[in-house]
Structure 1
Amino acid sequence: MLRVKGLLHYGLQVPSLDRGADFYSAFGLETAERGNAVVIRCDGREQDQTVLTEGPVKRLHHVAFAVDTDSLPEWQRHLEGLDMKLLDPPADVPGGLWFRDHEGNLVNLRDEGIAPWRDFGTTDAQDSNVGDRVRRIDQARWLTATEKTRPQRLGHMLIFSTDVSASEAFYTRTLGLRLSDRIVGGPVFMNSGPGDHHVFGFVPAEHPGLHHSSWMVSDIDQIARGAQDMASVGYTKGWGLGRHTLGSNLFHYIQDPWGSWIEYSSDMDCITENWQPNDWADLPAAIWSPEAPADFITNQEEKPA
């Protein structure tokens, strides 16, 4: 069965490209103009992670997944065998195969390799002193803990869905994503094979949209420093610090200018083909954290006409 290699990037339509660029830059990412779009990348990593286009309202524009090199003809046959209608690429994001999922979300398959992580050198997780396991000697950790937050890569994203079971089935059948875990009556988390516990998933809602994107950073200092820096420029509404249940990652969320969330994340569970998914009942989103904002799972995108 064909399976995508991972999440490449997502596209957002936003009312102001300047405001979008300022927000993502404050988050610690690199921004650049490309034609009529603004492209977001991680510092030192040659891969688009977000593409902003301008429009009257904010909405999720598309989601792009990586597939094996030279495999697009095979993917085209696969999609056509599922009676998927292939579409012309948008002018601002050429290349690959394009189609809409069962809820109208635009999906892009690209035969691009996933860029390697930027080399950070020794991280806090590697040189922590815990109990009698001493790895850092004659070094003052606080001197490096003050470095500006620079996300390493886009880790995952969750989108709103009117039927999370139908969405899980669609992306399993169409893209080969696999279930990681689900909360009964709540979110569904999916993976693209060995690696992060989840790269994609769904949150129940009355109409589609972006819930959040999650960006991997090296350690808890990078999460806390990022949250502090975002608050200093006016982005004070958030949720964190905490540790999630499913995925186990440390997190801090910040609400973006349009009502979605963006997450600093670190220490995600790594799974293999041996991972067994579970259905969890009444599972909290975090094992410890402050209380989540009341509108954390509210879809603030306009309902499509």
Structure 2
Amino acid sequence: MSSPWIAGLRSVALNVPDLAKAEAFYTEVWHLEVSHRKEGAVYLRGSGTDHHLLALYAGGELPQLRQVTLRARSAEALQAVAEAAPRAGGTILSPIGPLTKNPAGGTGLTLRDPHGRIFQVVHGDRTHEAREPTRDRPIRLTHVVLNSHAVDETKAFLEQALGFTLADRTGIMAFMNCDTDHHTIAIGITDNDALNHIAFLMPDYESVMRGGGRMKDAGHPIQWGPGRHGPGNNLFNYFIDPFGVVIEYTAEVEQVDDSYQPRGPEDWKWPPGRVDQWGISPPPGASLKEAQRRVLFVPT
């Protein structure tokens, strides 16, 4: 099912109202580490090899999504994206070139889809040496969910411009695959184009649960979870960060190959009162649903 061009999700970049407060939260509570800092920005890594998972920039009063960064499989794949994106209705904001302003470096391009979502695609970026997964610390990003008021158009763009394929579709979400993780980008089927949430892969079930307790102790209770999703089969706990960004601890994401058979909404219905496989967690509340509509891409 893998994309011929995109190997996975590298990082997400956000504008935040208080950079110092954001750094403190994401290092002391969420358990990322500082990979690099410069004036007005800090870059945070997990225990995996990616240079950074979050790039946080000093911004205005409301958080904003600057871009979602994907990693290309090769220089040739990067060129293929540059050619495919305009044909799919996208706009190239920055053509292929050295990423000299980004501490991860490499070569990349930046594009915008027809509804204003901004993607950076990189190749040859710097990485860290591999280390053993550390309990209670995120390893990498596993997926990002982006809302869409026009899901079929967004799905078509991801397929045509980036080579994604549909893994599964429910009544509220389309799950898009590019590699062995069941989904790397999911499309929230709604009436807006906001950031729905960012998911951080934890080493194991224990880390997802211990992370929930740590967040609760810090004044950020679980907004939805614990539970196990249907599509992706992953464990989850959802939270809202200090600025209103929805973030998820997850583990045990289903690994798929070309033998995986996509399923539709009729295949992903739970019995009354259930919102996941286990059925022990109540549905997400109004606060979480509102937060999943609040963070928009920076206008270009």
Answer whether TM exceeds 0.5 for this pair: yes
1:187 aligns with 2:173: yes
Match of 2:295, as an amino acid? Answer: E
1:267 aligns with 2:233: no
Query: In 1, Cα distance between the equivalents of 2:143 and 2:51?
Result: 15
Q: 1:78 to 1:153 in 2, by over 3 A?
A: same
Instruction: Tell me the percent identity.
Output: 26
Within the candidate set 159, 162, 184, 2:146 is matched to 159
1:104 aligns with 2:122: no
Partner of 2:82: 76
What SS does structure 2 have at the residue aligned with 1:170? helix
Please give the per-residue CA displacement for 1:208-244, whole angstroms capped at 9, x wherever unaligned: 2211111111212111111111111111242211111
Cα deviation, residue 19, structure 1: 1.8
Q: 1:79 to 1:167 in 2, by over 3 A?
A: closer
1:87 aligns with 2:93: yes
Query: In 2, Cα distance between the equivalents of 1:2 and 1:110?
Result: 14
Matches within 5 A, 1:201-212: 201-212=186-197
Contact 1:68–1:111 under 8 Å retained in 2: yes
Q: 1:164 to 1:91 in 2, by over 3 A?
A: farther
Query: In 1, Cα distance between the equivalents of 2:235 and 2:200?
Result: 11
Match of 2:282, as an amino acid? Answer: E
Contact 2:31–2:137 under 8 Å retained in 1: yes
Contact 2:4–2:73 under 8 Å retained in 1: no
Q: 1:106 to 1:159 in 2, by over 3 A?
A: same
Query: In 2, Cα distance between the equivalents of 1:300 and 1:225?
Result: 28
How many equivalent residue pairs? Answer: 278
Contact 2:211–2:249 under 8 Å retained in 1: yes
Partner of 1:47: 51
Cα deviation, residue 63, structure 1: 0.7
Within the candidate set 243, 251, 257, 1:258 is matched to 243
Query: In 2, Cα distance between the equivalents of 1:286 and 1:175?
Result: 30
Please give the per-residue CA displacement for 1:38-81, whole angstroms capped at 9, x wherever unaligned: 11111363422111112212121111111123223343233344
Q: TM-score, normalised by structure 2?
A: 0.83
Contact 1:117–1:152 under 8 Å retained in 2: no
Query: In 2, Cα distance between the equivalents of 1:91 and 1:59?
Result: 23
Q: 1:43 to 1:302 in 2, by over 3 A?
A: closer
Please give the per-residue CA displacement for 1:230-275, whole angstroms capped at 9, x wherever unaligned: 1111112422111111111111111112323211111111100121
Q: 1:215 to 1:192 in 2, by over 3 A?
A: same
Query: In 2, Cα distance between the equivalents of 1:49 and 1:304?
Result: 19
Q: 1:239 to 1:83 in 2, by over 3 A?
A: closer
Q: TM-score, normalised by structure 1?
A: 0.82
Partner of 1:3: 5
Please give the per-residue CA displacement for 1:70-101, whole angstroms capped at 9, x wherever unaligned: 22334323334446432138995475111101
Where does structure 2 lack aligned partners over 5 or more consecutive residues?
none
Partner of 1:235: 220
Contact 1:69–1:113 under 8 Å retained in 2: no
Q: 1:118 to 1:241 in 2, by over 3 A?
A: farther
